[in-house]
Amino acid sequence: MKHCLITGGAGFIGSHLAERLIAKGNRVTVVDDLTTGRRENLDAIQDHPNFQLRVGSITDPVLLNDVVIGVDVIYHLAAAVGVKLVADNPVKTIETNIYPTELLLRLAALGGQRFFLASTSEVYGKNPKERWTEEDDLHFGSTSRPRWAYGCSKAIDEFLALAYQRKLGLQMVIGRFFNVVGPRQVGDYGMVVPRFVDQALDGGPVIVYDDGGQERCFAHVSDVVECIIKLTESDITVGGVFNIGSDQPVSILSLANKVIEKIDPSIETQFIPYREAYAEDFEDVRRRVPDTTRLESAIAMKPGRSLDDILSDIIRWKRELREQGKT
C-alpha cells in the first residue's frame, strides 16, 4: 500500500483519481479548499478507512508541510480552473498556480516522494502547428491579454519541476491535459461539454462562442486517470513531459450538434461573440490537438474512448442528477 497525496482531490479529475487509487489498494489523502472542488465528488470513498480529506488551501504552507509527512506519492492537480476564472481573475491564477507548486516540489525533493505535476495544453499558447508535440515552442500572446496568465503560470510550474528533477533528483513527471471531460465536471468555469449538455437538457438554445470553428479533442476522465497513474508509477517516464488527451479533433459547432442530436434534435444553436461571453480583450486558440506518440511509447496506452460514448456517459450522469433534484 502506498500513501498518495492529491491536491485538488475534490475536483473533477482529482476525485476520479482518488477513487481509482483507493480501488488499487492505496491510502489516499486529499487536500482541497472546496472552492471549485465539491465534497460530494468524494461520496463514494468518504467513509473508506484508507481515505482522508483535509479541507484547506494549497496556498497555506503550514498545511502543505503537514500533509506531505509520510506520503509516498504526490499528485499535484490543484490549480486555478477554467478559462472564465482565469480571464476574470489573473492575479489569483498566478498566485494559486506558482507558489504552492514550488513549495510542494521542494518538500518532495527533501522527502523523496514521487511527484506528478498536472499541466495543461494552455502552455502551447497559440502555437500554429496542426498537432502539438511536447518539444514544441510555446507561443503566448501579449501580457495585456489576461487569457495567457494561466498558460504562462503553468509553464513556470513545468520549468520548476524540471529544475528540481535535474538539480535534486526529484522523481517527477509532467502531464499536459487536453480537454478532459466526464461525469462530475461542471460548466461554471467555461467547460464547454457540461455547458452544452445543461443547455440542451434545459431546452436550449445551445450557445456557441464565435463561429464554432474552433477544434478541440475530448478525452474521458477514466482514460486520463489511468494514464496519470501509469506515468507516475513508471521509472522510464521520470523527468518527462507528456501530452495526455484524445488526438481526434472535432469542431465546437460539431460538438454542439452532437449534443443536440442526442438530447433533442429540435433544439436551436445560438452564436455569440467572445466579447459577450468573456471580455473585449479575450483571445482564443483555434485548434488544439495533441500528438500522443510519446505517451503511447511510454505506457502503451492513450485515451481512446469515442466522443459519442463520452457524451452518452455525461448526458446519462446529468439526467440522473436532475432526477435526484441535485441540479
Looking up cell 511510454 gives 298
d(CA 5, CA 28): 6
- From the list 229, 228, 230, 218, the residue with the least C-alpha distance to 304 is 218
User: Nearest-5° angle of CA 147, CA 150, CA 155?
Assistant: 130
Cβ contact 209:273 at 8 Å: yes
**Single-letter amino acid code for the residue at 163:** A
Contacting residues for 214 by C-beta, under 8 A, at least 6 apart: 251, 252, 284, 285, 286, 287
- Indicate which residue of 75, 124, 150, 164 is catalytic: 150
CA distance 164 to 58: 19
Grid cell, residue 165, equals: 528533477
- Please provide the distance, in angstroms rounded to a whole number, between the alpha carbons at the two ends of the chain: 37
Q: In what helix (H) or strand (E) does residue 323 lie, and over which residues does it extend?
A: helix 307-323
Beta carbons within 8 Å of 177's beta carbon, 6+ residues apart: 13, 118, 119, 120, 121, 224, 244, 245
Could you tell me the three cell numbers for 53?
480529506
CA–CA separation, 106 and 165 (whole Å): 10
| CA torsion through residues 283, 286, 290, 291, sign | negative
* Residue 150 appears among annotated catalytic residues: yes
C-alpha cell recorded at residue 220: 474521458
Helix (H, G, I), strand (E, B) or coil at 189: coil
Which residues does 200 contact at the CB level (< 8 Å), separation at least 6? 206, 259, 260, 263, 264, 267
Residue found by looking up cell 489511468 in the block: 226
Catalytic residues, by residue number, are: 150
